[in-house]
Amino acid sequence: MCHEQSLANENERNDFFGGGGGGGRKRGGRGGGNLMQGGERGPRDRNPDDRLNDRVAQMSGPTFDLAPLDTAEKKFSGRARLYIGNIATESTEEEIHDLFKNYGETNELFVNKEKNFGFIKMDFNVNAEKAKRELDGSLFKGRMLKIRFAPNGSSVKVRNLPPFVSNELLYFAFSAFGEIERCIVIVDDRGKPTGEGLVEYVRKGSATLAIRKCSDDCFFLTASLRPVIVELYDAVDEADGCPEKTMPKKNMEYTKAREIGPRFANPNSFEHEYGMRWKQLHELFAQKELALKKELDMEKEKLEAQMEYARYEHETEMLREELRAREMGRDRQKREWEMKERQAEETRQRTEEQMRRQQEEMQTRMLLQEEELRRRQQENNLFMQAHQLDDMLDQQEQAYEQPERGIFNANKINVLTDVSNPNIKNLC
């Protein structure tokens, strides 16, 4: 059965996702057609990693009070996909659809007639369980069918989860890589997280992208510096175990092993001696595993302590850098203020000097104007006196106009001579 499961897994990856194989095709409305046509397509001129980084950058803020997840099962999910083995070569896809449609809606049928296997999706997991339970081992076209749940190549296991990671936070973080069908954080029997989680994507490419990016880079979910470890997860169908009908009864080893049934070994017997050796070997393995686990826990605690110390040192150095930057900014601002004060003082001195020169020039102009005004007033006074003198002379000439011109001229000269004003003398 394990060999058949491995073969189915390998063939599925080769044929269903683009490899070789004869006569296989998918059918159905939901999810059918060319896989390369599904999903959202961004601008062709941008790198897909750049778009992913943009989406992750939008998530880097606080993640308080995330909305609850819708836990309802999605129709035609990967958890309802069945592997069909030992299919008769002459079987048609319509016949296979008719075989499974009694248990619910079907979709995405793939058949490889060369290797006699196929895959089909049921609408819900409960219908897939019912179809598997009732059709496994049944005869179809003269051949006994082998029905198993198909390996889900689009599922990833997330390890090294930091504390305080919920289903919602895990879904929120890993939705950056693609559409998710189911997402859970694994807990123990007490409900305490085990540090692992499962993410089931709709498409295999999303799981591949998540594995590649988380392997190449460090992807953190919280403020903790513990990067998550992402691996491909192949779910094992353990519900039915290994039934008797799958045993190779024609094998000689089977006959030899089944000759003796269950029993307790007799003390001091051959069986007891080697049985105890096997138990000692398992106890040694358990002890070494426990010691390794303790050592790993100690290393984790040591790394956590180193991480906290490094974080403290980093934050301290950042504060020092910020303080130095503030001091440099303060010194620069102080120098700018001093320079502005000097410039203001120089401007004030230049303004005062300019005002002083303007006042001196204004005083000089006022003095010159006053002297010019006095000079003009003196000239006006002289002019008025001269005019008055001329009038007096004219009046005297008119009053004493006599035939004797000589006497009048002599009197006129005497009057001019007796004038005591030096300005009149100068004017004359």
Q: What is the pLDDT of residues 102-135, one digit of tens each?
A: 999 999 999 998 999 999 999 999 999 999 999 9
Q: Can you list the alpha helix ranges (DSSP code H) found in 177-269?
A: 204-216, 252-257
Last residue of a domain, one of 313, 344, 366: 366
Q: Decide if 128 is inside a domain.
A: yes
Please give the Cα distance from 70 to 212 (Å, whole number). Answer: 28
What is the predicted pLDDT for the residue at 119? Answer: 94
**φ and ψ of 20, to 5 deg:** -75, 175
Last residue of a domain, one of 114, 134, 149: 149
Same domain, 159 and 145: no
Please report, as a single letter, which amino acid is at residue 211: I
pLDDT band at 230 (very low <50, low <70, confident <90, very high): very high
Q: Decide if 260 is inside a domain.
A: no
What is the predicted pLDDT for the residue at 280? Answer: 92
Q: Are 103 and 147 in contact (CB under 8 A)?
A: no
- Which residues pair with residue 159 across a beta bridge? 229
Q: Are 200 and 179 in contact (CB under 8 A)?
A: no
Q: Are 126 and 113 in contact (CB under 8 A)?
A: no
Residue 426: pLDDT above 70?
no
Same domain, 95 and 166: no
Cα–Cα distances (Å) from 383 to 7, 373, 395, in that order, read 140, 15, 18
Q: Decide if 249 is inside a domain.
A: no
Tokens of 155: 């599922």
Percent of the chain at pLDDT exceeding 90: 49
Mean pLDDT comparison of 35-44, 70-79, 92-101, highest-scoring range: 92-101
Q: Decide if 346 is inside a domain.
A: yes
Q: What is the mean pLDDT of residues 39-50?
A: 64
* Residue range of the domain that includes 214: 155-234
Same domain, 298 and 349: yes
Q: Decide if 201 is inside a domain.
A: yes
Q: Decide if 420 is inside a domain.
A: no
- Which residues pair with residue 275 across a beta bridge? none
**Mean predicted lDDT score pLDDT of the chain:** 82
**Out of 10-24, 324-338, 413-427, least confident range:** 10-24
Cα–Cα distances (Å) from 288 to 194, 276, 296, 300, 316, in that order, read 21, 18, 12, 18, 41
Same domain, 340 and 322: yes
Same domain, 230 and 164: yes
Same domain, 166 and 219: yes
pLDDT tens column, 353-375:
999 999 999 999 999 999 999 99
Same domain, 135 and 161: no
The total number of structural domains that make up the chain: 3
Task: Report the CATH number that the domain containing residue 188 is assigned in CATH.
Answer: 3.30.70.330
pLDDT band at 341 (very low <50, low <70, confident <90, very high): very high
Sign of CA dihedral 256, 259, 262, 263: negative
Last residue of a domain, one of 107, 129, 149: 149
Give the containing element (helix H, strand E) for 251: none
pLDDT tens column, 271-319:
888 888 888 998 999 999 999 999 998 998 898 889 889 889 999 999 9
Same domain, 171 and 134: no
> Percentages helix, strand, coil for the chain, rounded to the nearest 5?
55, 10, 30
Same domain, 170 and 227: yes
Same domain, 122 and 106: yes
Q: Decide if 333 is inside a domain.
A: yes
Q: Show Cβ contacts of residue 128 under 8 Å, excluding neighbours closer than 6 positions.
A: 79, 80, 81, 82, 103, 104, 122, 149
What is the predicted pLDDT for the residue at 229? Answer: 94
Q: Decide if 142 is inside a domain.
A: yes
